[in-house]
Structure 1
Amino acid sequence: MQSKASQERKQGRRSAETAEQTKCLIMHVAADMFAELGFERVSLRNISESAGVSHSLIRYHFGSKEQIWQAVSDGMDSYLQRYIAELLLEIPDTQDSAHRIYLFLVSLNAVILCEPKPIQFIADAVRQKNDALLAYFLRSKDQFSAVFKSLFEDYNQQHPDTPIELWEMKWQMLQHAHAAVSLKPMLNETWPELDGNEDALLLRHWELYNKQVAMQMSIAKEDMIHPTNLADLLLDIPCHVEPAS
């Protein structure tokens, strides 16, 4: 027969697991709502109703809407950091720096198009009258770029007459990805023959970026990649937002 202390420890573990599951649920619901509606149009009451938990429980776990937003943003930032690190490991060292940058950019663009929440959060932060949300995003930009900075430095050392600017390439990617999110109805207008097939439309949109980067990096046509579905380019790293440990 279990001792009272053992029973209390088990009950404590179950309570901690339940609390963690509740926080995850709240963050996933909040992430969807912030991405779809924007920060200003979402309230704690909206989140509690959609998550099926009490308003007071959300305040207990997070305190405020701003803190939920920050927790979700941290989760997405952590996901992209892990994804970029794994993506760099997947790109063969045998390729020259130009081809490695090409593969890196078009592969990263694929996941951003398929998992648009980070772009939606950034765009919404820019729209806010209060700069606090945007400042929260920009706080880690140097840390974020450090992961792949050496890739661009290698190229510029090998091509001193035609260097590329890391932040310009990042800006091009942000523009391209945001267009697919903010102007989504225009995708079908551009390619009506695809009859609203979202996967096919995103692939066709991605191909425009693929051609642009290949041209910038002087990649031969025969060395370009042309997946039949963007999912073929994704690594097996699900986009989950989790509470900070």
Structure 2
Amino acid sequence: MNVKKQGRRSAEDAEQTKSDILEAAAELFCELGFERVSLRNISDKAGVSHSLIRHHFGSKEEIWHAISDELHEFIVRYVAVVYQNMSKTVPANVQLFEFTKRMLAYMLVFKRPVQLMADAVRQEDALLDYFIGSSDDIESFVEGLVSAHNAAFPEAHIRMWDLKWQIVMYAHAAASLTPFLKETWSDETDDLNTCLLRHFMLFEQTMAARLKIDNCYRSIPDSVEELVYELPDSVTSEE
């Protein structure tokens, strides 16, 4: 193997190691919370040395920042895919309705972003500020959808933060109160995915009424998963 190939292999190995560290750390942060996780915990779960973690990231805070950056990058790409698949010929309220449904569906299936956000709230302000501060470009996109809706439907005016709050509230409830979610529909089913769909439909009904969505634009999916778009040539943020 020549020097150039060796260098490329070494770089690939280093990137894989960093990816393994971030995956292990993300699982631990979601399971235990930032405060209870140590670099030693991360090194044990990732199967790498403590010194190698410090070499790549330096500190637990830097690992958290890197995870937040990766999640943000993925969500930005996901928002772009939602927009690409969104019909531009339907009314503004329907576009906003479609966007909110697709984003909640993603957060119900891939719980990691809302789990990390909730943990950041419990920790030092710097973690939450970093998490929220990295989403400016997404906010600009959402503001555009909200502004277009409000201009076309002033009688159904909506605030962007009200919208964000409802998505986060429904996503976090499903992630943190799973036993209660299952108990709510225990007389109908013992399947968690079916309960998740029932939970999603509560949100869908609320948003349809608030945005004055005609029934022709509403649908009942067979599962929440079918509403989540796949990103080509990408790795999702959670298995």
Confirm or deny a common fold (TM above 0.5). yes
Larger relative contact order, structure 1 or 2 (CA cutoff 8 Å, min sep 6): 1
The residue type equivalent to 2:191 in the other structure is N
Let me know the Cα RMSD of the aligned residues: 1.5
Q: What stretches of structure 1 of length at least 5 have no aligned partner?
A: 1-5
Q: What per-residue deviation string (whole Å, max 9, x for no partner) do you get for residues 111-154 of structure 1? A: 000001010011001111x2111111121343221123211111
Q: Is the 8 A contact 2:156 2:212 kept in 1?
A: no
SS at match of 2:56: helix
CA distance in 2, matches of 1:160, 1:195: 40
**Which structure has the bigger radius of gyration?**
1
Q: Is the 8 A contact 2:112 2:237 kept in 1?
A: no
1:153 maps onto 2:150 in alignment: no
Q: Which residue of structure 2 lines up, in the alignment, with residue 171 of structure 1?
A: 165
Q: Is the 8 A contact 1:38 1:124 kept in 2?
A: yes
Aligned partner (choices 53, 60, 69) of residue 55 of structure 2: 60
TM value normalised by structure 1 = 0.91
After TM superposition, where is structure 1 displaced by more than 6 Å over at least 4 residues in a row? Answer: none
Q: What per-residue deviation string (whole Å, max 9, x for no partner) do you get for residues 139-177 of structure 1? A: 134322112321111111112343211111011111111
Of 96-105 and 147-156, deviating more is 147-156
Identity %: 43
Of 54-63 and 212-221, deviating more is 212-221
Distance 1:222 1:159, change over 3 A: closer
CA distance in 1, matches of 2:133, 2:2: 45
Distance 1:95 1:193, change over 3 A: same
Of 228-237 and 134-143, deviating more is 134-143
SS at match of 1:192: coil
TM value normalised by structure 2 = 0.94
CA distance in 2, matches of 1:14, 1:189: 50
The residue type equivalent to 2:55 in the other structure is Y
1:24 maps onto 2:25 in alignment: no
SS at match of 2:187: helix
The number of aligned residues is: 235
Aligned partner (choices 7, 10, 14) of residue 15 of structure 1: 10
SS at match of 2:236: coil
Counterpart mapping for 1:125-140 below 5 A = 125-128=120-123, 130-140=124-134
Compute the displacement of 1:186 (Å). Answer: 0.2
Compute the displacement of 1:105 (Å). Answer: 0.5
Of 144-153 and 56-65, deviating more is 144-153
